Homo-oligomer: A and B are copies of this chain.
Amino acid sequence: MKLLHHPERKDILLSSVLYALSDPVRLQIVAQIHRGGEQACKSFEVPIAKSTLSQHVRTLREAGITHTRIYGTQRLLSLRSEDLNERFPGLLDAVLRSYGESREEIELRQEYEKQGS
């Protein structure tokens, strides 16, 4: 089985976390996992190609934001909330709260719905 690298808690860097969160698609993925718990990549409501999604998922994992679990042919993603809160207290909550209130999520949803119609 392919082993995926996840950085240890102490090696999670603030600049990498902020970079990983600085993309509307990745923010949307993180917000969706935060709302619904561990879920498969295919459940993410983002208007992008599968290969692009894989890149985003990788960026999140390598920054230490998400944990990817391989289950059969699926990749299940969960948030490393405990690691992040221990390392950078309040940061993830502040980002998710800001994201929920910003227009960026709404715009991404509209784009998604337009593509799906």
Contacts and interface: CB of A to CB of B under 8 A. Distances in A.
What is the oligomeric copy number? 2
A28 to B, nearest CB: 10
Contacts of A19: 18-19, 22
Interface residues of A, number: 25
Interface string A93-109: 11101110110100000
Interface stretch (A1-9, A41-49, A83-91): A83-91
A29 interface: no
A76 interface: no
Contact of A27 (B15, B23, B102, B104): B15
Nearest to A11: B103
Interface of A: 13-16, 18-19, 21-24, 27, 87-91, 93-95, 97-99, 101-102, 104
